[in-house]
Amino acid sequence: MQSLENILLESDSQQLVLSSTNLELSIKVSLPYEGDEPGSVLLPPKLTDIVRLLPEQEVQLDLDQDNLHLSLSSGQSRYNLFGSDPADFPRVEELLPGSDSTITIDAPVLRDLLKMVVFAASTEETRPAFNGILFEFDGGRWNLISSDTYRLVFKSLLDGDWHFEPLRCLAPARALREFSRILDLEQEEVVIYPGKDHLVFRLPTVYFAARLLNEKYPDISSVIPEHYSTRIFVSRHELTDAVSRAALLAEGINSAIQLSLSESTLFVRVSSQIGRMEESLAVKKEGEEVELYINSRFVMDILKATVSEEIIIDFHGKSGPVVFRLPGDESYLYLVLPIKMN
């Protein structure tokens, strides 16, 4: 549908509404507006680039409804955009929440929350279930789960004001990444609620709905180990620097580096056709010594996603998963499978 490539602009005497959809996600933005007559037009997506580069001044819009032309001016800049008929554009119908079935959360908190979860979702179209983020609602508990089968993120939130019937929603990670970009500019509260086929996020001026994936997400309860054989506490900044340096020499699809724990020292090593590197870090250690290989990109993802000063890493032997945790937050974990090396 060619109309999906465009942005619908509608106006009345009170507000200006811009809508866009690709049938996977839908978004509407409403702005206060004082105009004379209502109108509507489909505009090319270049509209966003034009507005982004306009001077930081008031913008004037003049719509020629008969010819579907929009004049747009700000400062000394003038544009005349050639629009098209909005008759074929699929309307973005706003879904309303049911009674006692909403979550209200501050935009910066939700932004940081999605940042800590969405990176682990798969981007391969051959695994459609793992292209999504699982939202589990049960009473006052909300769980977020993402995985690409090589790693997994689990985050749980609890609030006595939420009253959800047990429900599982699989929202596309790609849509949530787009929504995170909106949250970068917001400080308001976000209202979240599930619809029949969508998960809705509503801000005072923004309506965002992500169509749910019709895929069955596997049960991950048996994947997370209950006990660790080794636990270390390490500075996030020091580990980030060491892994970044090691990754420069890591090769192959797995970008493998070696983590080796001896006494109270963690060694980060890499050996490839380019060369070798080793760096040692002082850590607080509980349990056995261990040595394994891990994907350096997977480690960097969690180190970039959190601002915690310290990281807890649980090891489960040479072949067991590596679990990253945050001090003071038992509701979050990031599990990574080690790489089997010959």
Helix (H, G, I), strand (E, B) or coil at 303: helix
Specify the pLDDT at position 175.
94
- What is the spatial distance between Cα 246 and Cα 56, in angstroms, rounded to a whole number? 44
Residue span(s) of the chain under CATH 3.10.150.10 come to 2-88, 103-211, 230-336
pLDDT, the chain, mean: 92
Nearest by Cα to 17 from 25, 26, 180: 26
Chain position carrying tokens 């049911």: 98
Compute CA distances 109 → 22, 93, 128, 183, whole Å: 27, 27, 28, 9
Nearest by Cα to 336 from 224, 219, 216: 224
Chain position carrying tokens 């004082």: 34
- The string of pLDDT tens digits covering residues 186-201 is 889 999 998 889 999 9
Highest mean pLDDT among 127-141, 212-226, 287-301: 287-301
- What is the spatial distance between Cα 207 and Cα 163, in angstroms, rounded to a whole number? 22
Specify the pLDDT at position 113.
94
- The string of pLDDT tens digits covering residues 250-289 is 998 899 999 999 999 999 999 999 999 999 999 999 999 9
- Strand duo 77-82 + 69-74: pairing: antiparallel
- What is the spatial distance between Cα 201 and Cα 192, in angstroms, rounded to a whole number? 5
* Domain made up of 103-211: CATH architecture: Roll (3.10)
Confidence tier at 66 by pLDDT (50, 70, 90): very high
- What is the spatial distance between Cα 45 and Cα 92, in angstroms, rounded to a whole number? 17
Task: For residue 52, give both structure tokens.
Answer: 């982004």
- What is the spatial distance between Cα 181 and Cα 107, in angstroms, rounded to a whole number? 11
- 60-64, 152-156, 296-300: range with lowest mean pLDDT: 60-64
pTM (two decimals): 0.89
Confidence tier at 210 by pLDDT (50, 70, 90): very high
For residue 270, what are the β-bridge partners? Answer: 277
In the CATH scheme, what is the homologous superfamily, with its name and number, of domain 2-88? Answer: DNA Polymerase III, subunit A, domain 2 (3.10.150.10)
Specify the pLDDT at position 165.
80
- The string of pLDDT tens digits covering residues 106-129 is 999 999 999 999 999 999 988 899
Helix (H) or strand (E) holding 319: none
- What is the spatial distance between Cα 160 and Cα 141, in angstroms, rounded to a whole number? 8
Do residues 143 and 155 touch, judged by C-beta distance below 8 A? yes
- What is the spatial distance between Cα 208 and Cα 19, in angstroms, rounded to a whole number? 10
- The string of pLDDT tens digits covering residues 147-188 is 999 999 999 998 867 777 888 999 999 999 999 999 988 889
Nearest by Cα to 189 from 175, 211, 205, 172: 205
Confidence tier at 1 by pLDDT (50, 70, 90): low
Does residue 100 register a pLDDT over 70?
no
Nearest by Cα to 5 from 66, 37, 48: 48
For a pLDDT cut of 90, what percent of the chain falls above it?
73
Do residues 301 and 123 touch, judged by C-beta distance below 8 A? no
**What class does CATH assign to 230-336?**
alpha beta
Sheet holding 60-64, edge to edge: 60-64, 69-74, 77-82
Does residue 234 register a pLDDT over 90?
yes
Specify the pLDDT at position 138.
85
